[in-house]
Amino acid sequence: MLNNYEKMGLHASNTTELVLDQVSVPRENLLGVEGSGYKQFLAVLDGGRIGIGAMAVGLAQGAFEKSLRYAKQRKQFGSTLSTFQAIRFKLADMAMNIELARNMVYKAAWLKDQGRGFKKEAAMAKLFASEMCMRVCDQAVQIHGGYGYMREYEVERCLRDAKLLEIGEGTSEIQRMVIAGQVGC
């Protein structure tokens, strides 16, 4: 039985409920060790958090680039938006936070690739990148002004898509619990 869901964002990715009832899996098709499914699931989540962090960086980068392009073209009071200090500061903060998140994602991915522990770094990268992405996308809408609320300018889609990144692979609250546990709290 399949049940498709309509979501606020990420429309290019279908979300479907899959229900398996009274299904038996032959022993030769078993993945991992029987009885260890939950532990395996948690290990997969750690890797997935790196992927969510990478998605957040890419989405934020796109929103930033659209905003920078718009700020260089849009004129107000005889000058482009990019000449106003308030807009320049927004763009500078966006660029800085994207770079920080990118480096956090790279570090977590590198640790995973090296076969080293990466649970804390993956949770930190996912948490920082997803929350940063929401802030960047929100500022992108703000820079675009009323146009930012219109589908034609696409930054509204970025904002809708960004919200899921704070939820998927564990909410921000869960990431904070994982990080607290990893630092010995």
**Which residues are designated catalytic?**
169
CA 169 vs CA 29, 32, 49, 164: distances in Å: 26, 21, 6, 10
Q: Which of 7, 16, 39, 45 is nearest to 170 (CA)?
A: 45
Q: Measure the CA–CA gap between 171 and 163, rounded to whole angstroms.
A: 10
Report residue 106 CA to chain centroid gap: 14
Q: Where is 17: in which H helix or E strand?
A: strand 16-18
Structure token pair of residue 166 = 């704070």
Place of tokens 């921000």: 172
Structure token pair of residue 182 = 């990893």
Q: Measure the CA–CA gap between 48 and 86, rounded to whole angstroms.
A: 36
